[in-house]
Structure 1
Amino acid sequence: MTEPEAAPPGRSHMMEHTATRTIIVIAVLAVAWLLVELSVFLLLVFAALVLAAVFDTITRGLMRVLPITRGLALALAVLLLLAVFAGTFTLFGTQLADQFETITESIPPAIAQLRDFLDRIGLGEPARQLVDGGTRDLSRFAGDAGSYLLSAGNGIANIVLVLVGAIFIAGDPGAYRRGMLLLMPKRAEPVMDAALDDAARGLSGWMVGQAVSSLVVALFTWGGLALLGVPASGGLGLIAGLLDVIPMVGPIIAGVPAVLLAFTVSPATALWTLGLFLLVQQLQGNFLQPMIQKQAVDVPPAVLLFAVVAAGVLFGFLGVLLAAPLTVVVFVMVQRIYVRTLLGKKITIAGEK
């Protein structure tokens, strides 16, 4: 009885090559599926990294001023940040809560007054349909934001997770940095080490610049709306300052409820309110945003705008909130790893001295 002939060497090699490619494709698809499934968790991890950068900046500042250890400086940084938030809500929490209630109750009558105003000036049905469409979009955005936060899990638990994770990371950032470098091939370690420096520098600069920008926008909006006599000016100013974190889109979203509430006073007040937000937008775009870019990374405005849209489509409301720092990190990583290292082009990394 004759034995079966062995497969030719060339055919055996081809089969092994095909099997290897199949395994690689399956592995890549599995990793992609896992990243999609863990997208919310990964965003929470990134939020912890951003907060850790905040803690690290305050910690290093305290260590330059006071002769204390890093552990004590970090504890003081955490307590200082929590004390600022607690003190703010203690002093202004009741007033802001009343103003947010005023905003919620006043928007429906304001929309009705806007419709009546459009009828009086003869703009007709098309303009009213445009207003109704914008109102539905705003309501849908608010509903999506709320449903996303609920679906992401217990909000308090997520905040605690991010806070505790940020404290652990800021307590010994070198350990996590060394762990990441250990996962890299030996020849890639210097490039990754430099890329991590770029990302840390960009995040720290963005945090400082954005904090100043948000504070200025909130104060200018609050003061301007108060002078115009718009109801709940403090709450609207706080909304404008918080939404300033969202590049390009945030100021527009913040202006919608302010203009609607101004209509409850008079159409002229609504026009002045619109002018105020255009003025604040010019201040933010021509002065505050360049200051942030000078401190952090000079990301082109169109890149930031499309990054916000893409983050919202992919990750929902949390992605929109983290779009700016995430874009900063991705931008410097692409410059350092892809453009300078892989392509070999001599460029200056954003934020590099």
Structure 2
Amino acid sequence: MTEPTGPVSVRKIDIGQIAGAAIAIIAIAGAAWLLVELSGFLLLVFAALVLAAIFDALTRRVSRITRMKRGPSLALSVIAILAVFAGVFALFGTQLASEFDTISESIPPAVDQIRAFVDRIGLGQPARELLDQGTSDLSRLARRAGGYVVTAGNGLANFILVFVGAIFIASDPAVYRRGLLLLMPQRAEDTAAAALDDASRGLRGWMVGQAVSSLVVAALTWAGLALLGVPAAGGLGLIAGLLDVIPMIGPIIAAVPAVLLAFTVSPMTALWTIGLFLLVQQLQGNFLQPMIQKQAVNVPPAVLLFAVVAAGLLFGFLGVLLAAPLTVVAYVVIQRVYVRALLGKEIKIAGRD
């Protein structure tokens, strides 16, 4: 007599499903672990893509003006960038180095003067404890930032890797674009191509607007601090311009050493310095930031703020520096791929005309 095979087949199906689910879970966990382990490397790749976008924009402009082919135009663009940085360091390097020395040497006496001022006006022990805590946090943040730079960048070798990689990508970006699209399923290829175009357009616009914003902030801060008689105005202006790349948090960090050094002149100068930074940030927020958003992507301010915090917690100092372009790219890709393609909602993609 033949035994019934129904329960056995059901059992086999259940075991197969369980095995398949287990393999899928292991694969997802392995992919997540691999992404975490390679996060530093992936950030370097993204940094190369950002730099390649800068090279690409300059190459297109040079090619349009000179009518040269892409290769010579790219070489001329890279040489021009290196010449500009070399010229700036040759003209102002010594001055800026001495000003940064002045900043590092003047901060401890400035903190002591603030402590004495707090005692003199009678704010008492709680204010001194708050000042000591803030000074300790600032020193710890500076030490950690330096450690993040060494860990994430690994010195000159990674900088060269990013720079050379950006040149290779900018030399023929269509090759890498086609290679990425070949990895996509056929039905998703058009959406992926549109997402790449959106991300490239938003990234180029952000870089143009951010470059203008950083230069204006650095120049205004430099001029304002010089008029107020604050020591090392040039170095403080450069710090303000560089930290303008970090949304929301960068201007606050830049204001701290400026106010401390202004206090070595007088408490009133420190108050005027605070007013100067507030004025510059009002200008940046009401005029320069809308220009960046018009050129690139109108990302909500709260999204940018939390993106900076999350990038800092996940990736350290390099993540903070790249938080804004990462957010721009992620914002337009989510709009194109998830909201429009998957959800089927007709929305205007940020950064498009």
TM-score band w.r.t. shorter chain: over 0.9
1:180 aligns with 2:180: yes
In the other structure, the counterpart of 2:329 is 329
Over aligned residue pairs, what C-alpha RMSD do you find?
Answer: 1.4
Q: How many residues align?
A: 352
Query: Shift of residue 166 of structure 1?
Result: 0.3
Tell me by how many angstroms 1:207 deviates. 0.4
Supply the distance in 2 between the matched residues of 1:143 and 1:98 (Cα, whole angstroms): 21
| Runs of 5+ unmatched residues, structure 2 | none
- Give secondary structure in 2 for the equivalent of 1:348: coil
- Please give the alpha-carbon distance, in whole angstroms, between the structure 2 residues aligned to 1:270 and 1:230: 9
Q: How does 1:212-227 map to 2 (within 5 A)?
A: 212-227=212-227
1:14-39 CA-to-partner distances (Å, cap 9, x unmatched) read: 11111111001000000100111111
Amino acid at match of 1:94: T
* Alignment correspondent of 1:63: 63
Residue 27 of structure 2 corresponds to residue 27 of structure 1? yes
Cα distance between partner residues in 2 of 1:71 and 1:14: 60
Equivalent position amino acid for 1:169 in 2 = I
Query: What's 1:320 paired with?
Result: 320
Q: Please say if 1:351 is aligned against 2:336.
A: no
In 1, the alpha carbon distance for the partners of 2:155 and 2:131 equals 33
Cα distance, 1:131 vs structure 2: 1.5
What SS does structure 1 have at the residue aligned with 2:247? coil
Structure-2 separation of matches of 1:63 and 1:248: 36
Equivalent position of 2:294 in the other structure: 294
SS in structure 1 opposite 2:334? helix
> Where do 1:16-165 residues align within 5 Å?
16-152=16-152, 154-165=154-165
| Partner in structure 2 of residue 306 of structure 1 | 306
- Give the counterpart letter for 1:181 in structure 2: L
Please give the alpha-carbon distance, in whole angstroms, between the structure 2 residues aligned to 1:332 and 1:134: 38
| Deviation larger for 32-41 or 122-131 | 122-131
The alpha-carbon deviation at position 150 of structure 1 amounts to 2.1
Task: Tell me the equivalent position of 2:228.
Answer: 228
Aligned match of 1:197:
197
Which deviates the most, 197-206 or 121-130? 121-130
TM-score by length of 1: 0.98
Map Cα deviations across residues 175-199 of structure 1 (whole Å, 9 max, x no partner). Answer: 1101110110000000000000000
Tell me which amino acid in the other structure corresponds to 2:259: V
C-alpha deviation, 1:154, in angstroms:
3.1
Inter-CA distance 43–153: structure 2 relative to 1 (3 Å threshold): closer
Amino acid aligned to 1:252: I
Residue correspondence of structure 1 range 212-291 to structure 2 within 5 A: 212-291=212-291
Shift of 1:153: 5.6
Partner Cα separation in structure 1 for residue 117 and residue 188 of structure 2: 64
Determine the C-alpha separation between the residues in 2 that align with 1:129 and 1:40: 37
Distance in 1 between residues matched to 2:279 and 2:181, nearest whole Å: 47
TM-score (norm 2): 0.98
Question: Deviation of residue 6 (structure 1)?
Answer: 9.6
Q: Deviations over 1:293-349 (max 9, x none)?
A: 100000000000000000000100000000000000000011000001111111000
**CA distance in 1: counterparts of 2:273 and 2:346, whole angstroms:** 48
Q: Report how far residue 151 of structure 1 moved.
A: 2.4
What's the offset of the Cα at 1:147? 1.1
Is the 8 Å Cα contact of residues 152 and 318 (structure 2) preserved in structure 1? no
List 4+ stretches of structure 1 deviating above 4 A. none
Return the offset for 1:211.
Answer: 0.2
Counterpart-to-counterpart distance in 2, 1:180 and 1:154: 28
Shift in Å at residue 130 of structure 1? 1.6
Cα deviation per residue 1:213-247 (whole Å; 9 max; x = unaligned)? Answer: 00000000000000000000000000000000000
CA distance in 1, matches of 2:14, 2:282: 63
Q: Which runs of 5+ in 1 are unaligned?
A: none
Given that residues 263 and 270 in structure 2 are in contact (C-alpha distance below 8 angstroms), is that contact kept between their aligned partners in structure 1? Answer: yes
Q: Which amino acid counterpart does residue 190 of structure 2 have in structure 1? A: P
Q: Which residue of 2 aligns with 1:170?
A: 170
